[in-house]
């Protein structure tokens, strides 16, 4: 019928377009796969550590010189108290943030208010940056309702963030370790650049551990300065 060349041309163009799509999407799919793999590894590592922590504690202390055993044991105790307090305070903060966000978005008539509230509560574990990330999808969905709803959604997230920063966050620091806010912010940014989303998620607890270990091992033991260690 004389259509052979046209059909072949269309097939070749289709193959080129499909190859372009695959080459563009491939790196993103690889990054998502790597992120999920790392997350699963971290979860299983946490389960193994939590199942029998004394095994790893004794193994670590076996590697420490005899004269430093007392300092190492005290450091592990400091890290445990800091993380324990942070987890308790953060759990309360996440529940409060999720509940307030859910209720506020429901009153404003924003679609999927419950899901957005859960996202806000989960992202509350990321200091300072988490509320901003959680607010983006909420504002975009609010625009589907009306621009005024989007405006009040921004106001809602600002109010919740002020409550979290001025009340909930000090409560968490009181329960855990009083880490300077600037140090916490820079640690989140550095962990994100070095380790990606997983680093951002783990930045706060890792910063707490490094903070108390620096106080105990470096400032008090090596420098000999009388510094107050939280939880003592």
Q: What is the pLDDT of residues 101-112, one digit of tens each?
A: 899 888 888 888
How high is the pLDDT of residue 79? 85
Q: Do residues 75 and 211 lie in contact, with contact meaning Cβ atoms separated by under 8 Å?
A: no
Report the Cα 96 to chain-centroid distance in Å.
17
Q: Count Cβ atoms within 10 A of the Cβ of residue 121 and give its class: 0-12 exposed, 13-18 middle, 19 or more buried.
A: buried
How high is the pLDDT of residue 110? 84
How high is the pLDDT of residue 6? 55
Distance CA 69, CA 75 (A): 10
Distance CA 101, CA 62 (A): 48
How high is the pLDDT of residue 22? 57
**H helix intervals, the chain:** 4-51, 53-62, 69-108, 113-123, 130-143, 147-163, 169-175, 181-195, 197-213
Instruction: Please indicate, yes or no, whether the overall pTM of this predicted structure exceeds 0.75.
Output: no
Distance CA 45, CA 114 (A): 31
How high is the pLDDT of residue 47? 84
How high is the pLDDT of residue 173? 64
Report the Cα 175 to chain-centroid distance in Å.
19
Q: Name the token pair of 117.
A: 């509230």
How high is the pLDDT of residue 206? 86
Report the Cα 213 to chain-centroid distance in Å.
21
Q: Do residues 81 and 73 lie in contact, with contact meaning Cβ atoms separated by under 8 Å?
A: no
Q: Is residue 232 classed as helix, strand or coil in its secondary structure?
A: coil
pLDDT per residue as tens, the chain (232 positions): 555 555 455 556 655 565 555 566 666 677 667 767 777 887 888 788 778 888 888 888 888 888 888 888 888 888 888 888 888 888 888 888 889 889 988 888 888 888 888 888 888 877 767 788 888 888 888 888 888 888 888 888 888 887 877 777 766 666 666 777 778 778 888 887 887 777 777 888 888 888 888 888 888 888 888 777 765 6
Where in the chain are the domains? Answer: 1-51, 53-222
């Amino acid at each position: 019928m004389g259509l052979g060349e046209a059909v072949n041309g269309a097939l070749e163009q289709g193959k080129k377009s499909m190859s372009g799509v695959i080459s563009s999407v491939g790196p993103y799919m690889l990054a998502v796969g790597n992120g999920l793999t790392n997350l699963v590894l971290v979860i299983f590592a946490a389960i193994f550590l939590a199942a029998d922590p004394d095994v790893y504690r004794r193994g670590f202390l076996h590697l420490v010189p005899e004269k430093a055993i007392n300092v190492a044991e005290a450091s592990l105790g400091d890290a445990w108290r800091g993380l324990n307090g942070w987890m308790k305070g953060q759990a309360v903060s996440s529940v409060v943030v999720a509940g307030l966000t859910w209720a506020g978005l429901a009153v404003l008539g924003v679609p999927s208010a419950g899901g957005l509230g859960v996202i806000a509560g989960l992202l509350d574990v990321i200091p300072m940056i988490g509320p901003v990330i959680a607010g983006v999808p909420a504002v975009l969905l609010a625009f589907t309702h009306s621009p005024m709803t989007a405006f009040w959604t921004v106001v809602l997230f600002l109010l919740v963030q002020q409550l979290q920063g001025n009340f909930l966050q000090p409560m968490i620091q009181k329960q855990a370790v009083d880490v300077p806010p600037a140090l916490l912010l820079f640690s989140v940014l550095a962990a994100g650049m070095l380790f990606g989303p997983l680093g951002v998620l783990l930045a706060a607890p890792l910063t707490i551990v490094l903070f108390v270990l620096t106080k105990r091992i470096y400032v008090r033991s090596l420098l000999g300065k009388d510094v107050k260690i939280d939880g003592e």
